Structure formats: C-alpha cells, structure tokens
Structure 1
Amino acid sequence: MPEVTALIRHNATLLVREPGPLLSRMILPLAFLLALRPLYTAAQGTIGGTTQAVLGALITFSLLAMSIVGASMLNERVWHTWNRLRATTLRPAQILAGKGIPALGALLAQQAVVLVFGVLVLGMRVASPALLVISLLAWTLLLLALGATLGVFAGSYGALSASYDVGGLVLSSLGGALVPISAMPGWLATIAPVSPGYWAVTALRGATTGDAAAAWRGSAVLLAFAAAAALLAGWRISRGWGRSAKL
C-alpha cells in the first residue's frame, strides 16, 4: 500500500538522521561485556559465563532500545502531526507496521553487533544458528510491540524514558538475563516466567546449546506476548489516541 510504504520510508529517514540512540545501544552493551564478563566466567566457567554475559547484555540493552519505537509513536503527538496521520486511510495495524518496520531493522542490527562480538571476539558457542535467528526474530517482534504500547500510552518523553529504563531493567533482571535463575531467591525464581525476559533467555539459551524444545517454547511465548501488546497498542490507537502530549 503506498501510504504504508511512505510511512515506512519517512520513519526510516528520521531514524537515519538521528542515529544517536541506536549507536549508544550498540556501544554500551559491548562495554558491559568487556567489564563484566570476567565476573560471569569466574562464577560459571568460560563457556557458561560467556554465554550468560552475551545474552544478558543483548536482552538488557535491546529492552532499553524499545525507546526507538516508543519515541517514534510519541513524536506524532508531540509534533502535532497525529491528526494528519489519522486523516489518511491507514488502519492501526498499518500505522504500527509503518512505525515498526524501520525499528525492526535497527533492533536486529543492534543485536547482531552484540552477537557477532560475542562469537568472534569472546568465543561464545552457538549450536544452532537457525534457532538463534528464529528466537531473535520472536524477541524483536515483542520489543516492537512493547515499545509501541509504551509510546501510545506515555504522556511525555519523561514518562516514556522512565517506562523503558525501569521496566527494561526489571524485566531483564527478573527474567534471568543478568543473574541466573538458579542464583535468585526462591520467590523471585517462582515469578520469573511472568517476565518476557525469562522466555527470551529460554529461547536464546536453547539456541546456543542446541535445545530445540526450549528455543521453540520460548519463541512461542514471546510471540504470544507480542500479539497481546500489539493488540493493546492497536486498541489505544483506534480509541482516539493522539491528544496533546508534553515535551
């Protein structure tokens, strides 16, 4: 559809013109890896510790990168262009696609940088590259849906920033990205599956170890989370989202 294509092109252009947020999300996880990998390897051994460090950095900083799609949604209200967008024939799903597809490429590029660094520089082992790709796609689709949902519900950039900063760290920590589930207090380990980060760790670790059942199960749950978040964002848009927002 020409309008969707135009929206994708427009948002891709905005993303390229303001590469700072994406570049920071690429550089910071590499610094995290170099600084904290020795702690993980000392506790879990070279192979296990390296995998934990790489996956922890990837999940944590990709959650923070939800700001890219969230800000893309919020910009429409802050810039007072939402009414113009609503005047088109685009449906909520098409608006989400127009906003999300450029961000999809950005998020995949960010995660690719972390994984390539982990494999080529740190020696992380990946038993099934195909499962890893599938798991990453499922995780990235969830990030897009969550980011869009935050963007349509946030009333200001400050509120959006607090949402993905606090929420991202909570979801990654609770999910076992930064601290293994086995090392958590019992009550935290019990509630860990409520976090999408838990299923991201399950899927990605399954791909690295060759556990296909874990990779497919984790990916399926991530896609279910993504569908729920996308439906919520679409509902918000269809209910007249777009009232004035604050800087």
Structure 2
Amino acid sequence: MWHDSLPRTGILVRHNTAVLLHEPVPLIGRLVMPLMLLLALRPLYEAAQGPVGTGEEVVGSLVTFSLLAMSIVGAAIMSERDWRTWDRLRATPVRPLELLVGKALPVFGVLALQQAIVLGVGAAALGMPVAAPGLLVVACAAWGLALLGLGTAVGVTARSYQQLSAVYDIGAFVLTTLGGALVPLHTLPGWVRAVSPVSPGYWAAGALRHASAGDTGPALTAAAVLLGVAAASGALAAWRISRGWGRSPAR
C-alpha cells in the first residue's frame, strides 16, 4: 500500500508547491510582516515588561502571523471546488490522507521558514533568550501541525470563500486574543483568562514560551495538546473527504 501511496503523495506535493510558488508575493509578505511587527513594537514591549518583553513579542508575533497558514491550506482545498477539479480527484486512486498531505506539506514548509526567520532574528538580533533550541523546534512543529489540521478542517467544512473568510476572522481573534499571544493574559479580564485554555493559541504561546525558557515539562504538555488538536481536526477533514465532500456545485 505504501509503495503506491508515496508516489501519489509526492506528485500532489510537487503540484501544490508549484501552485503556491506561482504567486510568491503573498508568501514574501507573510515572511516580512512579522519582522516589521517585531521592530515596530519592540520598544513598547520592553517598556512594559522589561528584558523579558522581547521574548514575549517574538512569541506573540510568531503565533499571530503563523495563523495565515490556516488560510493558505484552507483556500487551497476550497480552490478544488472553484476550479471544478474535485470530481476528477475523487475519480482517481488518491486517498483522503494523501490529498490532505499533498495540500498541507508545502504550507508546512512555508510555515517552518517563517518560524525559523522570526525566531532567528529574535534570538540573534534582538536578544531573545533560547534555553532549549531542540525543545523550541518541537513546540514549533506541534503548533504548525495544529494549524494545518485546523486549516484543512475549515477548508472542507466551509461552503464558500465568504464562509472561509468569516471563520478565519473569528478564529484569528480566538487564537490570538484569547490565547494571550499579543497581550499577556494577566492584563486581560478574568473571563478571558478563564476561557483562554480552549484556544489552541493559548497552548501555542505557552509551548513556545516554556520551550524558550527550557521548561521541558510544561512545554511538552502544551505540545501534546497541540498534537491532539492536529489529530482531531485532521481526522475530521479526512472523514469529510471520505464522505464525498466538495462535490463541484452546478452553475
């Protein structure tokens, strides 16, 4: 089975990578915008939080702008309906998991590059302390997989680009504000702190902060929660596809 699956998945990965790179300007923007935010808000974070402010800013910027990975993979799946290519894919031997991996893996590469650039600049140029680089890589990978799982689940659930956009707008608020990415949770109202653990962004910010500080136990716990989110959302997406999601709408 695997010797048939891997070539098909590889073809899908190459195709979706080519589609992603066909319009490189949005990708460049996703790499540049978090760096601009870092430079613009650094004085504010340092004035408010002192030496630890840089680390908080880097984590907040990374969590916030990595959310764009959700929209990329979700739109890539939705485009199959718009291009009326979904029925043709369903008629091939491609399995749901292969399709999801083919869509998500190129986006994961972009996300990994974004994480490397933001964390590299934060550590090398801005003085962000990184006590456990390996643990930080684990935290980044878990957050990336969670984002891709959520993005694919939304992509196969939404029925139009308008619905997709609305979900991402609301999701951005939930994942950043409720997650304590840009604003420390202790400064927010009590009800926000009480519900914040329902947000994957809460666990992402916690995983990155604990990994940077070298707190192995809390970092791995948060990473495990993110992997659970990735598994659950990915399973939902695969189930939706196996049930015949996305029949090309008649026009």
Shared fold by TM > 0.5?
A: yes
Question: Could you tell me whether the CA contact under 8 Å between 2:203 and 2:225 is conserved in 1?
Answer: yes
Which residue of the partner structure matches residue 9 of structure 1?
14
Shift in Å, 1:128 = 0.2
TM-score (structure 1 length as normaliser): 0.95
Q: 5 Å matches for 1:12-91?
A: 12-46=17-51, 48-91=52-95
Shift in Å, 1:52 = 0.8
1:242 aligns with 2:243: no
1:124 aligns with 2:128: yes
Question: Could you tell me whether the CA contact under 8 Å between 1:22 and 1:68 is conserved in 2?
Answer: no
Q: Which amino acid in structure 1 is aligned with residue 221 of structure 2? A: R
Shift in Å, 1:156 = 2.3
Q: Which amino acid in structure 1 is aligned with residue 89 of structure 2? A: L
TM-score (structure 2 length as normaliser): 0.94
1:220 aligns with 2:224: yes
Shift in Å, 1:170 = 2.3
1:211 aligns with 2:209: no
Question: Could you tell me whether the CA contact under 8 Å between 1:51 and 1:125 is conserved in 2?
Answer: yes
Which residue of the partner structure matches residue 173 of structure 2?
169
Which residue of the partner structure matches residue 193 of structure 1?
197
Question: Could you tell me whether the CA contact under 8 Å between 2:69 and 2:148 is conserved in 1?
Answer: no
- SS for the counterpart of 1:35 is helix
**Residue range with higher mean Cα deviation, 5-14 or 162-171:** 162-171
CA distance in 2 between counterparts of 1:149 and 1:225 reads 11
Question: Could you tell me whether the CA contact under 8 Å between 2:31 and 2:117 is conserved in 1?
Answer: yes
Shift in Å, 1:191 = 0.8
CA distance in 1 between counterparts of 2:166 and 2:35 reads 23
Show structure 1 runs of 5+ residues with no match: none
- SS for the counterpart of 1:191 is helix
Q: Which amino acid in structure 1 is aligned with residue 196 of structure 2? A: A
CA distance in 2 between counterparts of 1:243 and 1:20 reads 31
Question: Could you tell me whether the CA contact under 8 Å between 1:22 and 1:110 is conserved in 2?
Answer: no
User: What whole-Å deviation, never above 9, does each CA across 1:74-130 have from its counterpart, x for those lacking one?
Assistant: 111100000111111122111111111111101111111111111122111100000
- SS for the counterpart of 1:107 is helix
1:93 aligns with 2:93: no
CA distance in 1 between counterparts of 2:160 and 2:42 reads 36
Which residue of the partner structure matches residue 141 of structure 1?
145
Q: Which amino acid in structure 2 is aligned with residue 9 of structure 1? A: R
Which residue of the partner structure matches residue 178 of structure 1?
182
CA distance in 1 between counterparts of 2:129 and 2:234 reads 33
- SS for the counterpart of 2:67 is helix
CA distance in 2 between counterparts of 1:157 and 1:117 reads 34
Relative to structure 1, the CA distance from residue 102 to residue 42 in structure 2 (aligned partners, 3 Å threshold; closer, same or farther) is same
Question: What value does the CA root-mean-square deviation take over the aligned residues?
Answer: 1.4
CA distance in 1 between counterparts of 2:158 and 2:249 reads 8
Show structure 2 runs of 5+ residues with no match: 1-5
Question: Could you tell me whether the CA contact under 8 Å between 1:142 and 1:226 is conserved in 2?
Answer: yes
Q: Which runs of structure 1 show a deviation greater than 6 angstroms over 4 or more consecutive aligned residues? A: none
Question: Could you tell me whether the CA contact under 8 Å between 2:87 and 2:248 is conserved in 1?
Answer: no
Shift in Å, 1:245 = 6.0
